[in-house]
Structure 1
Amino acid sequence: MLVIDRYLEDYATGEVRRTLGRTITETDVVLHAGQTGDFFPHHMDENWCVNEAGLAGRIAHGTLVIAIAVGMTAGDVNPQAMSYGYDRIRFVKPVFLGDTITVEAEITTIADHPRRSELGRVDEQVRVTNQHGEVVLSLVHLYVVNKRGEGG
């Protein structure tokens, strides 16, 4: 893991980060079900998915896909920034067990913090795609970032 100090002034709109792929496994889904208590048949019952719901198979929890996707973009630690939350989360297509996802994060907004002059905000548009290049998840990741300050 790399530690990089990046202040608000170091970001540029349009900057893009891309990850390598990550395959969603049976273990991922079972562990997430146990952690969250979400044992809905969409995630746990292959027969129900195919024969009752008309799905191609079991699907990963949306919250699992968010967690993995955000984690995939967190390879660098920036002690000058902190996650502020997520907006406009959309589960565009299901992620099936065995699908491989990749993540692209593009900086779309850089702004001053509305109440604290020493801080700013950076918004990243995050797009998660499957192995077919189809968008499966879209969200905006919000960060609060320190400004460099006087003489920095």
Structure 2
Amino acid sequence: MNHQPLHLDIEYSAKAEFGKPLMNSLFTLGLAIGLTVNYTTLGTTVGNLGFDKVEFPKPVFAGDTIYVETEVINKRESKSSPNEGLLFFEHRAKNQNGEIVMKCQRAALMKKRFNSITIT
């Protein structure tokens, strides 16, 4: 429910810095993290603990294609649960031109072991 005209109003945006509507930065963050789930944490996340150093160095526009790279930058055992650990990720979202449009670090509490479940 962000009613900022830079995201919604074509005429208003045409007179602004980028000349067209921008995607909402929190949408970009959510999209980027969502794109990583299948290849990083599906079925293993106990909970996200926080996001840090969130940056949006370039704008995202309607029609852009977004790709995301994820790197595990640190890990440690959970102090309170022997079956869980903490992973620290860096996510980098790029547009179709290879420009970084979002970068953040994320901490997540993860299961140490994951038993595959077949869904029929």
Report the TM-score, using the length of structure 1 for normalisation.
0.66
Gaps of 5+ in 2: 114-120
Q: 1:108 aligns with which of 73, 82, 90?
A: 73
CA RMSD, 1 decimal: 1.7
Match of 2:6? Answer: 42
Gaps of 5+ in 1: 1-36
Match of 2:108? Answer: 143
| Whole-angstrom distance in 1 between the partners of 2:49 and 2:57 | 23
Match of 1:69? Answer: 32
| Whole-angstrom distance in 2 between the partners of 1:81 and 1:108 | 19
Structure 1 residue 88, shift from structure 2 partner? 1.1
Larger relative contact order (CA 8 Å, sep ≥ 6): 1
Match of 2:20? Answer: 57
| Whole-angstrom distance in 2 between the partners of 1:80 and 1:72 | 15
Alpha-carbon displacement from aligned partner over 1:35-82 (angstroms, at most 9, x marks no partner): xx211111001111122x131311000111111111111126224643
Structure 1 residue 117, shift from structure 2 partner? 4.9
Calculate percent identity across the aligned residue pairs: 28
Alpha-carbon displacement from aligned partner over 1:101-137 (angstroms, at most 9, x marks no partner): 1000011101123x41513210110000001100000
Q: 2:89 aligns with which of 114, 124, 136?
A: 124
Give 4+ residue runs of structure 1 displaced > 6 Å after superposition.
none
- Tell me the matched-pair count: 110
Structure 1 residue 85, shift from structure 2 partner? 2.1
| Whole-angstrom distance in 2 between the partners of 1:106 and 1:147 | 18
Pairing of 1:19-34 with structure 2 (within 5 A): none
Is the Cα–Cα contact under 8 Å of residues 10 and 20 in structure 2 kept in the other structure? yes
Report the TM-score, using the length of structure 2 for normalisation.
0.81
Structure 1 residue 84, shift from structure 2 partner? 1.9
Using a 3 Å threshold, how does the CA distance of structure 1 residues 62 and 83 change in structure 2: closer, same or farther?
Answer: same
| Whole-angstrom distance in 2 between the partners of 1:50 and 1:83 | 38
* Structure 2 residue matching 1:100: 3-state secondary structure: coil
Q: 1:86 aligns with which of 48, 51, 55?
A: 51
| Whole-angstrom distance in 2 between the partners of 1:128 and 1:137 | 5
